[in-house]
């Protein structure tokens, strides 16, 4: 988004010059000397580009000789190729200041401008051009296209303003003045840069103190050595003079001096050490030495050892006390979920640079002034108490002589002019100059990851209570429906989303730089489309957008807003009457979204899909799609070139058929014959419901991809006809079949080997007839591993291997070609193949269903039992990873309940059934929320409170008999009705009977969290009394418990489902790095991860889950290389990214905090 450029600017120094966060010092003998990959790379503004590739740091690793012969993970030449070459560019502004940037050849001039927006010195400059020598560079000129004679120097030249760019400049300046209104970095504690700085400062201070103590000990040792030398010289002189008695005295004095010196040295050594140092002598030597010591000496040594132990224990308690100050040990509370912002108002007031900045009432300029260059007028309230009237004209800004009563556009008597508003106000206000520098310093001191915007929507169910600040940018966006691009769009211009999607899919992708550019732009466009879809659904649900078919019922209304097509997800036209009505419509949309993702992954050239986003908001589910050119003006079915609309006519255009054949190879789709309702027989790869349309732009589009996988044969009722198997199941099934083939041929190879060895043994036995039976038996036991084959049998064994291996590869290829599934079996579509073929297709799909029940569900149950499942999100992810649909959660719950009864130990199997129950009940509550919200006449605040209070009503009050309608509040949500709907949902969708005594087990804080996340409810972080409610706290007539108060509801946000672009090259490199780690090849793993980090940073930006995963892998490599300080450095970044992207209570963030704690414990 355009206004996020300021928040991106807060990352400037750390990524431009590595000044905000220095690289932590390495250990004395580091195995890997690594520099943070992205510290030398500027972060680009997400609006148009992503950060440049990180330059892989040269890792100086001493690899053992054995590592060179180790089997390395397969790395192709393209994967080993560095993403882009990184080099420095010097940019000189109009005042002569030079800024040095780290860029790559794939970057454009526009990317460099985004870098400069993130620089502290340039964050408020918006209108300029860049020159290479005397040549003006266009914004989208790639640096690789510049001539070889370019000296890597650029010059900034100020450009005249237009009305659009001047508006942009003002809104940019407003964003600088109100940064805290839009940032959400109120939840960073252990992972902030301040904590790391404090940690490093304390470590350095401790090291300095220890070094100082050692220096003092050495000085004392030198003094004692000098005294000892003097005593020896004196004793020698006395001995020469014959003073024997004096010599004895000197010896005793020398011994006393030595003992005193040892004591002082021991004391100094103990003062400089905090850890107990193990003795160098062996235990036997210590026992011998103690036996020779006197009783008094042994007592003294024991006292010293006890003192050392006390020092170690005292140091440990001190560290624990310091850790307790950071991590409270008491029970965590929701009210402390976020950082305390009680001092925000005072801090915000102290950073106010202006009293106000607004557009003047004298706008627009009259015609006489417009032809002189005036664009608009501003009113600025200074902290000194004065109000200035400023003119924005083509050359910049100046103070005019206008007053509230009289319009005078001429400059004041003391002309004051500047190209930027900051430069103008610095000339007229000393307080502004002082406060503005403090404001920039305050925000640029933060860790860059704390303030960079998150492009993808973040799920949340708690929000801190924040002070509502005065912000004209925000009010103009909402009240006047301006775009978030900040007047950057031409008035009346609508973005062609479909053209953006399809043109990006046609970009070249043969080389790695091409794929990086393609993925980066695709990810950016997809994020912007998701944001546009969310904004459009919010406006539609709130009634701000008229329908394009207003004469039809409200359920059938369709909308076009921002050149995006919106429709309600419901069975308004009776299309899914036999598939469960609205439930069938929701299931079809979910399948369609999954089908779009599968088609995009296959990446068939010339075959296009629509941008699709599903949004749930205020109980309504809507689907947003990009518009196929000409589709809204086509009214007949003749435009469908593949598949059918209503089943009457079917088509299979040869051009479409050829492209879909490539798609079928990836998705294991079988070519089959179908018969339409008018008797027409056609051959299709996909289901008849999938439609192929050619737009007026000539491209081929696939629509309604709700059946790209076969139907689930375990749900054969008519209302479950839209239940399809997951694509992960097909992958597991294919892998299983290949493993069976490999096992079969491995058995054949072993059998052939055993036969050859047996023949060799028989031949050897015939040659040794004179040996005894006992020796023969002993020989038979040792010969299988020690037998020496003859040359003929060695050749025979080699021929067997050479014969079976190609045969195995041929069988695997044949399996891949023949393993195909008919997506129209067990559906209403009439198949026209031979009966034997249809029976074989049905048997193949049934085999899939049997594989799901017999193999994957037991495997899932085992995985759930042995792993620590900490949240409903992790539970759903594990279901999907095993290819098991969530509708099998009832079956899995029954398996877990059986295991928990047979296993009485306190393992994970005891709480897993309860977690599955909570997840099923939460999904039932989501359906109930949507149904009740659409029929409620209360305000949203009242309805949501009634819903939550009824949902958390304690079980004893659920058995209360419903009173007559006249005795209840009208349209109120009753707990009895709500839980009856949830029980019905569990019975219909999961085949599970929820018992009344299980409700009290379900009602808990995790259940509340899951329901809020699924319904988009955001609550205040406070302690809610969910159990042990008193009778006075329950309204029996209304059937609700008064748990949630009027001010507890903070917001109701959209819940979004969408597909996103992922860098395949980055994922492949991370997989290769894991293989290297498993083989202890740390240097190779580190290098590949650096390259992967560069690619992921370019494609997704620094604030993305995949980037965080790459940081975590880097931390693991460095920890294995015994470099804990740098491992902590990378893990801290990964944890901070996960906080921003996943939310504060995601299971991946919990794991990240655990690893962070482990790395901190190394110190």
pLDDT of residue 529 exceeding 90, the answer is yes
The distance of Cα 915 from the centroid of its chain, to the nearest Å, equals: 24
In whole angstroms, what is the distance from residue 1105 CA to residue 454 CA? 11
Sorting pLDDT into bands at 50, 70 and 90, what band is 709? Answer: very high
Among 31-40, 277-286, 618-627, 733-742, whose mean pLDDT is lowest? 31-40
In whole angstroms, what is the distance from residue 615 CA to residue 623 CA? 6
Q: Residue 811 — φ and ψ, nearest 5°?
A: -65, -40
Q: Residue 168 — φ and ψ, nearest 5°?
A: -60, -40
Summarize the confidence of residues 341-363 as an average pLDDT: 76
CB 972: neighbour CB atoms within 10 A?
19
Lookup: tokens for 648: 């009457």
CB 212: neighbour CB atoms within 10 A?
11
pLDDT of residue 1127 exceeding 80, the answer is yes
pLDDT of residue 249 exceeding 50, the answer is no
For residue 464, the number of C-alpha atoms closer than 13 Å in the C-beta half-sphere is: 16
In whole angstroms, what is the distance from residue 77 CA to residue 80 CA? 5
Share of residues in the chain with pLDDT > 70 (%): 72
Among 281-290, 296-305, 675-684, whose mean pLDDT is lowest? 281-290
Per-residue pLDDT at 866: 87
The sign of the dihedral angle between the CA atoms of 638, 643, 649, 651 is positive
Among 36-40, 567-571, 719-723, whose mean pLDDT is lowest? 36-40
What's the alpha-carbon Rg for the chain, to the nearest Å?
Answer: 37
Q: Cα dihedral angle (780, 785, 786, 789), rounded to 10 degrees?
A: 100
Parallel, antiparallel or unpaired: strands 700-703 and 607-608 = parallel
For residue 983, the number of C-alpha atoms closer than 13 Å in the C-beta half-sphere is: 14
Instruction: Tell me which residue has tokens 């070459």.
Output: 85
In whole angstroms, what is the distance from residue 642 CA to residue 543 CA? 37
Q: Which helix (H) or strand (E) holds 763?
A: helix 727-767
Cβ 449 vs Cβ 153: under 8 Å? no
Per-residue pLDDT at 316: 60
Laid out side by side, the sheet with 691-694 consists of: 607-608, 700-703, 691-694, 640-643, 651-652
Q: Which residues pair with 621 in a beta bridge?
A: 616
Among 281-295, 449-463, 615-629, 657-671, whose mean pLDDT is lowest? 281-295
pLDDT of residue 447 exceeding 80, the answer is no
pLDDT of residue 206 exceeding 80, the answer is no
Name which of 932, 1074, 1051, 1092 is nearest 465 in CA terms: 1051
Lookup: tokens for 922: 């939460």
pLDDT of residue 1015 exceeding 90, the answer is yes
Name which of 326, 338, 335 is nearest 186 in CA terms: 338
Per-residue pLDDT at 1022: 87
pLDDT of residue 10 exceeding 60, the answer is no
Per-residue pLDDT at 30: 30
In whole angstroms, what is the distance from residue 427 CA to residue 430 CA? 8
Q: How far apart are the first and last CA of the chain?
A: 41
Instruction: Tell me which residue has tokens 């990240």.
Output: 1152
Sorting pLDDT into bands at 50, 70 and 90, what band is 413? Answer: confident
Share of residues in the chain with pLDDT > 90 (%): 35
DSSP calls for 874-922: HHHHHHHHTT--GGGHHHHHHHHHHHHHH--SSSGGGTHHHHHHHHHHH
Per-residue pLDDT at 486: 36
Summarize the confidence of residues 644-672 as an average pLDDT: 89
What are the b/e assignments for 59-75, b being 16+ CB within 10 Å? Answer: bebeeeeebeeeeebeb
pLDDT digits (tens, 9 = 90+) for 109-149: 888 888 787 778 888 888 999 998 888 888 878 887 888 77
For 553, counting Cβ atoms within 10 Å of its Cβ (0-12 exposed, 13-18 middle, 19+ buried), the class is: exposed
Per-residue pLDDT at 975: 85
Name which of 109, 374, 191, 147 is nearest 1160 in CA terms: 191
Cβ 382 vs Cβ 394: under 8 Å? no
Among 278-287, 671-680, 727-736, 857-866, whose mean pLDDT is lowest? 278-287
In whole angstroms, what is the distance from residue 214 CA to residue 203 CA? 17
In whole angstroms, what is the distance from residue 503 CA to residue 496 CA? 11
Lookup: tokens for 71: 């089997």
Laid out side by side, the sheet with 1055-1058 consists of: 558-561, 564-568, 620-626, 612-617, 1055-1058
Among 172-176, 616-620, 889-893, 924-928, whose mean pLDDT is lowest? 172-176
In whole angstroms, what is the distance from residue 1078 CA to residue 31 CA? 17
Among 507-521, 773-787, 795-809, 1021-1035, whose mean pLDDT is lowest? 773-787
Q: In the chain, count H helices and then E strands.
A: 37, 27
Cβ 390 vs Cβ 380: under 8 Å? yes
Summarize the confidence of residues 1046-1074 as an average pLDDT: 92
**Is the full-model pTM beyond 0.95?**
no
pLDDT of residue 931 exceeding 50, the answer is yes
Among 19-23, 289-293, 786-790, 854-858, whose mean pLDDT is lowest? 19-23
Q: Which residues pair with 86 in a beta bridge?
A: 104
For residue 321, the number of C-alpha atoms closer than 13 Å in the C-beta half-sphere is: 6
Per-residue pLDDT at 608: 93
Among 482-496, 812-826, 937-951, 1047-1061, whose mean pLDDT is lowest? 482-496
CB 838: neighbour CB atoms within 10 A?
17
Report the SS3 class of residue 161. Answer: coil
Per-residue pLDDT at 1161: 81
Name which of 743, 1074, 1066, 1064 is nearest 74 in CA terms: 1074
pLDDT of residue 1074 exceeding 80, the answer is yes
Lookup: tokens for 961: 């008999």
pLDDT of residue 241 exceeding 70, the answer is no
Sorting pLDDT into bands at 50, 70 and 90, what band is 60? Answer: very low
Per-residue pLDDT at 204: 56
pLDDT of residue 105 exceeding 90, the answer is no
DSSP calls for 787-833: ----HHHHHHHHHHHHHHHHHHHHHHHHHHHH--B-TTTTSSSEE-S
Q: Which helix (H) or strand (E) holds 101?
A: strand 98-104
Name which of 554, 575, 558, 580 is nearest 567 in CA terms: 558
Summarize the confidence of residues 842-848 as an average pLDDT: 94
In whole angstroms, what is the distance from residue 551 CA to residue 796 CA? 82
Report DSSP state, residue 569.
-
Sorting pLDDT into bands at 50, 70 and 90, what band is 66? Answer: very low
Per-residue pLDDT at 910: 73
Among 395-404, 488-497, 1139-1148, whose mean pLDDT is lowest? 488-497
Cβ 153 vs Cβ 87: under 8 Å? no
In whole angstroms, what is the distance from residue 232 CA to residue 223 CA? 14
- Helix H segments across 87-139? 109-117
In whole angstroms, what is the distance from residue 42 CA to residue 53 CA? 10
Q: Give how far Cα 307 sits from Cα of 177, 209, 216, 302, 317, Å.
A: 59, 21, 21, 9, 15
Instruction: Tell me which residue has tokens 């609700």.
Output: 1040
In whole angstroms, what is the distance from residue 396 CA to residue 410 CA? 14
Per-residue pLDDT at 561: 92
The distance of Cα 1078 from the centroid of its chain, to the nearest Å, equals: 24
The distance of Cα 530 from the centroid of its chain, to the nearest Å, equals: 16
Sorting pLDDT into bands at 50, 70 and 90, what band is 353? Answer: confident
Name which of 356, 364, 6, 323 is nearest 183 in CA terms: 6
Lookup: tokens for 386: 């004065």
Cβ 24 vs Cβ 1129: under 8 Å? yes
Sorting pLDDT into bands at 50, 70 and 90, what band is 1162? Answer: confident
Per-residue pLDDT at 1145: 85
Sorting pLDDT into bands at 50, 70 and 90, what band is 14? Answer: very low
Q: Which helix (H) or strand (E) holds 773?
A: helix 773-786
DSSP calls for 684-718: ESS-TT-EEEE-TTS-EEEE----SS-B-TT--SG
In whole angstroms, what is the distance from residue 97 CA to residue 106 CA? 26
In whole angstroms, what is the distance from residue 273 CA to residue 276 CA? 8
- Output the average pLDDT for the chain: 77
Sorting pLDDT into bands at 50, 70 and 90, what band is 394? Answer: very high
In whole angstroms, what is the distance from residue 630 CA to residue 693 CA? 11
pLDDT of residue 835 exceeding 60, the answer is yes
In whole angstroms, what is the distance from residue 594 CA to residue 730 CA? 14
pLDDT digits (tens, 9 = 90+) for 290-327: 555 555 666 677 777 777 766 766 666 566 555 555 44
pLDDT of residue 284 exceeding 60, the answer is no
Report the SS3 class of residue 650. Answer: coil
Length, in residues, of the chain: 1163
Sorting pLDDT into bands at 50, 70 and 90, what band is 289? Answer: low
């Amino acid at each position: 988004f355009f206004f996020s450029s300021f928040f991106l600017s807060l990352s400037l120094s750390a990524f431009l010059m590595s000044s905000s966060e220095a690289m932590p010092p390495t250990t004395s003998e580091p195995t890997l000397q690594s520099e943070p990959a992205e510290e030398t790379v500027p972060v680009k503004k997400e609006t148009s580009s992503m950060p440049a590739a990180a330059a892989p740091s040269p890792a100086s690793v001493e690899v053992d000789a054995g590592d060179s012969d180790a089997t390395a993970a397969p790395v192709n030449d393209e994967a080993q190729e560095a993403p882009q070459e990184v080099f420095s560019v010097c940019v000189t502004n109009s005042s002569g200041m030079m800024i040095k940037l780290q860029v790559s050849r794939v970057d454009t001039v526009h990317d460099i401008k985004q870098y400069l927006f993130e620089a502290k010195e340039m964050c408020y400059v918006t209108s300029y051009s860049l020159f290479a020598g005397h040549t003006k560079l266009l914004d989208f000129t790639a640096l690789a296209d510049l001539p070889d004679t370019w000296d890597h120097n650029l010059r900034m030249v100020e450009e005249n303003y237009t009305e659009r760019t001047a508006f942009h400049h003002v809104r940019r300046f407003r964003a600088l003045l109100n940064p805290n209104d839009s940032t959400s970095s109120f939840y960073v504690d252990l992972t902030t840069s301040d904590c790391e700085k404090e940690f490093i400062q304390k470590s350095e201070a401790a090291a300095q103190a220890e070094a100082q103590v050692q220096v003092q000990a050495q000085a004392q040792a030198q003094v004692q050595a000098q005294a000892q030398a003097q005593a020896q010289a004196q004793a020698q002189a006395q001995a020469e003079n014959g003073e024997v008695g004096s010599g004895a005295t000197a010896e005793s004095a020398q011994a006393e001096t030595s003992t005193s010196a040892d004591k002082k040295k021991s004391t100094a050594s103990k003062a400089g050490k905090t850890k107990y140092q193990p003795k160098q002598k062996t235990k036997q030597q210590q026992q011998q030495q103690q036996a020779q010591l006197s009783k008094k000496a042994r007592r003294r040594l024991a006292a010293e050892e006890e003192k050392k132990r006390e020092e170690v224990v005292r140091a440990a308690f001190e560290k624990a006390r310091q850790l307790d100050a950071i991590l409270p040990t008491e029970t965590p509370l929701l009210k402390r979920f976020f950082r305390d912002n009680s001092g925000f108002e005072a801090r915000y007031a102290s950073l106010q640079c202006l009293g106000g900045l607004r557009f003047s009432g004298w706008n627009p300029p009259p015609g006489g002034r417009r032809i002189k260059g005036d664009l608009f007028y501003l009113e600025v309230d200074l902290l000194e108490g004065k109000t200035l009237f400023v003119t924005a004209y083509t050359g910049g800004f100046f103070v005019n002589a206008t007053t509230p009563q009289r319009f005078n556009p001429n400059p004041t008597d003391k002309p004051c002019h500047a190209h930027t508003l900051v430069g103008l106000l610095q000339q007229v206000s000393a307080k502004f100059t002082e406060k503005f520098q403090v404001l920039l310093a305050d925000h640029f001191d933060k860790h860059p990851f704390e303030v960079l915007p998150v492009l993808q929507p973040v799920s949340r169910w708690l929000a801190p209570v924040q002070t509502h600040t005065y912000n004209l940018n925000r009010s103009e966006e909402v009240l006047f429906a301006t775009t978030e691009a900040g007047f950057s769009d031409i008035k009346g211009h609508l973005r062609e989303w479909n053209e953006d999607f399809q043109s990006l899919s046609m970009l070249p992708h043969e080389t790695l730089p091409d794929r990086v550019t393609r993925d980066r732009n695709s990810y950016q466009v997809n994020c912007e489309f998701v944001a546009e879809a969310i904004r459009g659904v919010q406006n539609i649900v709130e009634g701000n957008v008229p329908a394009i078919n207003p004469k039809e019922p409200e359920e059938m209304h369709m909308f076009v807003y921002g050149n995006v097509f919106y429709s309600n997800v419901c069975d308004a036209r009776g299309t899914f009457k036999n598939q469960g009505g609205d439930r069938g419509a929701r299931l079809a949309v979910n399948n369609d979204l999954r089908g779009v993702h599968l088609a995009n992954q296959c990446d068939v050239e010339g075959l296009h899909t629509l941008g699709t986003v599903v949004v749930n908001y205020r109980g309504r589910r809507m689907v947003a799609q990009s518009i196929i050119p000409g589709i809204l003006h086509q009214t007949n079915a003749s435009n469908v070139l593949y598949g059918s609309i209503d089943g009457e006519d079917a088509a299979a255009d040869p051009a479409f058929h050829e492209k879909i054949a490539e798609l079928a190879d990836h998705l294991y789709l079988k070519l089959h014959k179908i018969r339409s309702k008018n008797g027409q027989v056609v051959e299709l790869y996909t289901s008849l419901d999938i439609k192929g349309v050619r737009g007026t732009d000539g491209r081929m589009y696939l629509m309604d991809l709700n059946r790209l996988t076969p139907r689930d044969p375990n749900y054969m009722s008519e209302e479950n006809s839209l239940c399809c198997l997951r694509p992960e199941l097909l992958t597991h099934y294919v892998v299983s079949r290949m493993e069976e083939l490999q096992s079969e041929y491995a058995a054949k190879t072993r059998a052939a080997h055993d036969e050859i060895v047996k023949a060799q043994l028989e031949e050897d036995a015939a040659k040794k007839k004179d040996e005894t039976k006992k020796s023969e038996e002993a020989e038979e036991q040792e010969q299988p591993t020690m037998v020496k084959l003859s040359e003929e049998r060695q050749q025979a064994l080699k021929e067997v291997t050479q014969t079976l291996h190609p045969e195995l590869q041929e069988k695997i290829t044949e399996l891949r070609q023949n393993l195909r599934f008919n997506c129209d079996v067990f559906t209403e579509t009439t198949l026209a193949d031979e009966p034997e073929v249809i029976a074989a297709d049905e048997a193949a799909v049934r085999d899939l269903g049997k594989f799901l029940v017999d193999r994957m569900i037991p495997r899932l149950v085992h995985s759930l039992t042995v792993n620590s499942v900490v949240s409903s999100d992790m539970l759903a992810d594990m279901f999907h990873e095993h290819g098991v649909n969530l509708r099998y959660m009832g079956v899995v719950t029954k398996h877990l309940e059986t295991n928990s009864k047979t296993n009485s130990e306190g393992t994970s199997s005891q709480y897993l059934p309860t977690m599955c129950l909570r997840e099923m009940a939460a999904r039932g509550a989501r359906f109930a929320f949507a149904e009740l919200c659409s029929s409620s006449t209360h305000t949203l605040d009242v309805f949501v409170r009634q819903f939550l209070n009824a949902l958390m009503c304690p079980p004893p009050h659920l058995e209360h008999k419903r009173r007559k309608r006249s005795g209840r509040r009208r349209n109120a949500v009753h707990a009895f009705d709500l839980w009856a709907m949830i029980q019905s949902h569990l019975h219909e969708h999961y085949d599970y009977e929820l018992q009344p005594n299980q409700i009290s087990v379900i009602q808990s804080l995790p259940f509340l969290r899951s329901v809020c996340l699924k319904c988009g409810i955001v609550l205040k972080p406070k302690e809610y009394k969910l159990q042990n409610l008193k009778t006075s706290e329950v309204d029996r007539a209304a059937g609700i418990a008064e748990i949630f108060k009027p001010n507890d509801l903070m917001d109701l946000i959209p819940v979004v489902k969408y597909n996103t672009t992922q860098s395949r090259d980055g994922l492949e490199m991370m997989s290769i790095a894991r293989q290297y780690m498993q083989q202890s090849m740390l240097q190779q793993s580190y290098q590949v991860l650096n390259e992967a980090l560069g690619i992921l940073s370019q494609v997704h930006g620094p604030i993305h889950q995949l980037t965080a995963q790459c940081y975590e892998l880097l931390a693991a490599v460095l920890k294995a290389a015994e470099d804990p300080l740098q491992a902590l450095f990378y893990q801290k970044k990964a944890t901070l990214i996960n906080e921003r992207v996943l939310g504060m209570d995601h299971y991946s963030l919990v794991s990240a905090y655990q690893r962070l704690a482990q790395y901190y414990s190394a110190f």
